[in-house]
Amino acid sequence: MKAFIKDIAYYLPERVVTNQELIKDFPEWSVEKVASKVGIQERHLVVDGETATDLAVKAAEQLFISGKAKKEDVDFILFCTQSPDYVLPTSACLIQNRLKLSTNVGALDFNLGCSGYVYGLSLAKGLICGGVARNVLLLTAETYSLHIHPKDKGNRTIFGDAATATLISTEGMSEIGNFSLGTDGSGAGNLIVKTGAFRNPQRKNDLFFDDNKTPISSDYLYMNGTEIFNFTLEAVPLLVKDVLLKNKIEQSDIGLFVFHQANKYMINVLRKKLKIEEERFFIYLEKVGNTVSSTIPIALFQAQKENKLNGHVLLAGFGVGYSWGGVVLNFG
């Protein structure tokens, strides 16, 4: 049994925050500085009361509109998010009900960030190749904006909210190849929200500002950019090498590389380190920002619109955890 990506769709919240709007809160920055630093012009953010589950449902509805994915065919839901509606029940169960899918579908959440889409593809392939399901609805949705302190200009500049929906089936436009997956939990503290779950259930209200006037608090998203950057430069080249090895192909055989869209500077450094030509390296950040687990499928959707998905396409996700994963997709 083989597993294929059959179709992809995505949804962006209606609220748009441009660089012009953002610098009103940070007048020491300019529109040009933001754009040149991270390669992002605008990002979409949820409004009060809007959750990752809401976004995921709308992404799924977009997928069904295409006609390639039918509600009655779905027999498993995988939902990747770090922003669930509740501690319990499982958000995927809520999604099943809201989409009015059959009660015979399996449904589960999994908590991963920037590597989540690749991990989701691996889970979906396992379900199909194991005979558990034939049509898996893989959803990714994140609302990192709700984790970010209003005065955290670095993270507010980078992150956007979004959701994607992918149908993985026994046939489709691209066969899912072999995976390379990795984890190093020793880096967990470098990208973390410390309070709100059972380790630290109560808010600590320990906000302070560092020498760069960046807010540091257990109650909001903390990212050690230097350590994340160093981890990425070390892990991703090894990941790419291992993915190529496991798929028994050479780097020159890859038609397009689609990495997690962290920020333009970081992924361009990776591109240069790996000696990948610009025309074989896809970037789609300007209108959406870093949407965490949704960056790769959004980029795939856009690359498909530009007719750039041909032959072997290598995906690489990496970030919070630390967690990383890669796979090769085979188009036609």
Position 13 scores a pLDDT of 98
Position 5 scores a pLDDT of 98
Position 23 scores a pLDDT of 85
Mind giving me the DSSP string for 97-164? Answer: HHTT--TT-EEEEE--STTHHHHHHHHHHHHHHTTS-SEEEEEEEE-GGGGS-TT-HHHHHHB--EEE
Question: Do the Cβ atoms of 144 and 83 come closer than 8 Å?
Answer: yes
Position 311 scores a pLDDT of 96
Position 68 scores a pLDDT of 83
The structure's pTM equals 0.97
Position 66 scores a pLDDT of 83
- Which residues are catalytically annotated? 114, 260, 290
Position 136 scores a pLDDT of 98
**pLDDT per residue as tens digits for the range 120-152:** 999 999 999 999 999 999 999 999 999 999 999
Region of 271 on the Ramachandran plot (φ > 0 left; ψ -120 to 50 alpha; else beta): alpha
CB atoms inside a 10 Å sphere around CB 16: 13
Collapsed DSSP state (helix, strand, coil) of residue 308? coil
Position 215 scores a pLDDT of 94
Collapsed DSSP state (helix, strand, coil) of residue 283? coil
Question: Do the Cβ atoms of 309 and 256 come closer than 8 Å?
Answer: yes
Nearest C-alpha neighbor of 255 from the set 233, 217, 282, 229: 282
Kindly give the confidence (pLDDT) of every residue in the chain, 332 residues in length, as a single tens digit, with 9 standing for 90 and above. Answer: 899 999 999 999 999 999 999 988 888 877 787 778 889 999 999 999 999 999 999 999 999 998 888 899 999 999 999 999 999 999 999 999 999 999 999 999 999 999 999 999 999 999 999 999 999 999 999 999 999 999 999 999 999 999 999 999 999 999 999 999 999 999 999 999 999 999 999 999 999 999 888 999 999 999 999 999 999 999 999 999 999 999 999 999 999 999 999 999 999 999 999 999 999 999 999 999 999 999 999 999 999 999 999 999 999 999 999 999 999 999 97
Domains and CATH numbers, the chain: 4-173 (3.40.47.10), 178-189+219-331 (3.40.47.10)
**pLDDT per residue as tens digits for the range 20-74:** 999 888 888 777 877 788 899 999 999 999 999 999 999 999 999 988 888 999 9
- Name the DSSP letter for residue 46: P
Collapsed DSSP state (helix, strand, coil) of residue 180? strand
Kindly report the backbone phi and psi dihedral angles of residue 44, in degrees, each rounded to the nearest multiple of 5, phi listed first.
-100, 135
- How far, in Å, are 54, 127, 288 from residue 23 at the CA level? 29, 46, 17
Position 25 scores a pLDDT of 87
